[in-house]
Chain A
Amino acid sequence: MALTAALQDGFRRDPLTAVTAGFILAVCVLALIGPALTVYDPLATDPANALMPPTWLRPCGTDQVGRDICARIIYATRLDLFIAVSAVVIALAVGSVIGSLAGFFGGWVDRIAMWVTDTIMAFPLFLLAMGIVAALGSSVENIIYATAIVNVPFYARTVRAEINQRRDAGFVEAARVGGNGPFRILAFHLFPTTVPQLAVQMTLTMGWAMLNAAALSFIGLGIRPPTPEWGIMVAEGASFIITGEWWVALFPGLALVLVVLSLNLLGDGLRDMIDPRERR
């Protein structure tokens, strides 16, 4: 397939993107099998060993109730990845449907769709997500829904622009002459042409979705403690920063930054490969 060949060629020319892709893959594996590898229980408290600085045995130290921070970070990987991936997938699905219909049919469908996306984008997006989680209640699902909703406009607009551009193209005309109905043309002829753009959009928004979810838990709106999650762990460590117990907040924060950074680098690399016009 052309896409796989393009990827192989791209990875050869751009080793940094290959490395970040490998790192993301490793993080995914860690999310799957990590909990089986950890020595300590992420929820087991041990007041006698509270706020221990990092040692060789406990590379990230312990928190205020003696839980092993390294184990908690590894357990949290699964939850953080799960939130980001599901939010982006939901946004992709909903945004694609809205964008396809708006781009293909135009007219009042387009006007309503654009009014909805404009309204969503009229809010600073993190604040809207904050409001949604506060309204629906603090739970993992609601963080996912909130993050998905604020991401929908980007997908809807990307798909709309791509479909709009091609809806009068020759191959569409040919499909129509061949007896395909409008929905069939949309689903099997037009939508597949937007996939490369969507792949890039997904990688680029995945990192942002992760930061968004972590920030929601950081301000106390997301997941409830003692569930291990990077944003909450940074929030718990925040009060120890000014007394010098830096490791409580630093390690979960670093985990978050590393994963988001690789996602962003991967997204940039993929964009350059798929759309050489945008290479800068």
Chain B
Amino acid sequence: MRRLVLGLPTLAGVIIVSFILTRLLPGDPAVYFAGAAPTAEAIAELRKTLLLDHSLWDQFAAYLVQLARGDLGRSLVTGQPVVKDLSLRFPATLELTGTALALALLVAVPLGVAGALRKGRAIDHICRIVSTMALSMPAFFTGLLLVFVFYYLLGLAPAPLGRVDPMAFPLAERTGFILLDAILAWDWSSFRDGLAHLVLPASALALAGIGPLTRVTRGAMLAVLTSDFIRAARSYDMSRWRLVYVYALRNAMLPVLTTGGFVFSFLISANVVVEKVFSWPGIGSYALEALVASDYAAVQGFVLAVATLYVLVNIAIDILYGIVDVRVRLAG
């Protein structure tokens, strides 16, 4: 609870910054949405509904009142409430980012542990090369390379045009997660189709997370392996497997957990470019479209939603840390 309160000033900062940012967007949305041949009255009317003729303070106050009601405004492009647009597209982003995170952890944790155990040996060099390469590859470039190799050259992957085959029979939407929906509908061809579309963008995104995750795991594991309690455990002639995987790894996961927020920020940023490369209909490509159309409400809603999510992730990590680490829990 105390941690939730600590997140509040940051959240206030986030609301202020996202408001300022979107008010600075170039172009007059009233002119933009009045259509091809705008009349002066139509523009004036639009300015009134958008509160553009009021002072910035009034606009901000109105915005706060809206926020308090859980209303993020209406997107000018789709004509839908922004909350609805975002929640409609959120599962696509979550499915992509979640799969990518799982993939990244599957590669990064074993690699980091192996690098730390065999410090200075071949596997450690591989660990260093992989993490440095992953940190140096922009996600949009890895995405394109994957498309070239697996779609154009090998023909194994479908065209990078969204989540499903446009010719396929549409799946009944229940959760918005294609894979989950397919399982619920007992529809294996849809499942295969969704998975085939997911593999490349998720791999491109996973690569963005592998860099930092591998480094942190290796560093944390090294620190734990040289600590007193491991030395003591060694002296008790404990089996190596038990020592490494039960005692050392569990303690090394703490620093990895604290960088979770950083990795999330990394992934969600890479997510925008990956969604663009693969025409993935998530909130990232939604925000890009909104930016181009200077769609205040949509951009604001997106920035606010992601930043809030980020603050919440950090709070959740703090709480988890407290649960895992007894020392923090006792210190309160």
Contacts and interface: CB of A to CB of B under 8 A. Distances in A.
Given A115-B9, A237-B144, A264-B135, 8 more contacts: A122-B11, A123-B310, A125-B265, A207-B136, A211-B138, A215-B273, A256-B141, A257-B141
A122 B311 contact: yes
Contact of B269 (A125, A132, A268): A125
Interface stretch (B14-22, B86-94, B103-111): B14-22
Nearest to B16: A119
B306 interface: yes
Contacts of A132: 21
Interface string A233-259: 011011001111010011001001100
Contacts of A116: 13
Interface stretch (A29-37, A133-141, A162-170): A133-141
Q: A132, A215, A231: which has the most chain B beta carbons within 10 Å?
A: A215
A125 B266 CA distance: 8
B24 interface: yes
B133 A127 contact: no
B152 A131 contact: no
B152 A137 contact: no
A152 to B, nearest CB: 13
Interface in B112-170: 119, 132-133, 135-141, 144-145, 147-148, 151-152, 159-160
A221 interface: yes
Given A124-B306, A125-B265, A280-B219, A119 B10 contact: yes
6 contacts: A124-B265, A124-B266, A124-B269, A126-B270, A126-B272, A134-B299
A6 interface: no
B18 A131 contact: yes
A98 interface: no
B243 interface: no
B269 A126 contact: yes
A16 to B, nearest CB: 10
Contacts of A118: 9-10, 13
Contacts of B230: none
B6 to A, nearest CB: 10
Interface residues of A, number: 47
B291 interface: yes
Given A118-B13, A134-B25, A234-B144, A257 B222 contact: no
Interface in B197-221: 218-219
B10 A218 contact: no
Given A130-B291, A134-B25, A215 B138 contact: yes
Contact of A241 (B147, B269, B292, B311): B147
B288 interface: yes
Interface residues of B, number: 56
A237 B13 CA distance: 39
Q: B140, B268, B291, B306: which has the most chain A beta carbons within 10 Å?
A: B140
Contacts of B44: none
Q: A126, A137, A234, A268: which has the most chain B beta carbons within 10 Å?
A: A126
Is the contact region of chain A dominated by helix, strand, or loop, or is it mixed?
helix
B303 A119 contact: no
Contacts of A125: 265, 269
Nearest to B288: A219
Contacts of A127: 268-269, 272, 287, 303, 306
A124 B261 CA distance: 9
B26 interface: yes
Contacts of B264: 124
Contacts of B268: 124, 127
B2 to A, nearest CB: 16
B319 to A, nearest CB: 17
A47 interface: no
Nearest to B215: A280
A214 interface: yes
The 6 closest A-B pairs by CB, nearest first: A119-B13, A126-B269, A135-B24, A261-B136, A253-B141, A124-B265
Contacts of A119: 10, 13-14, 16-17
A190 interface: no
B144 A253 contact: yes
Interface string B25-46: 1100000000000000000000
B310 A124 contact: yes
A54 to B, nearest CB: 15
Q: B21, B292, B299, B306: which has the most chain A beta carbons within 10 Å?
A: B21
A219 B9 contact: no
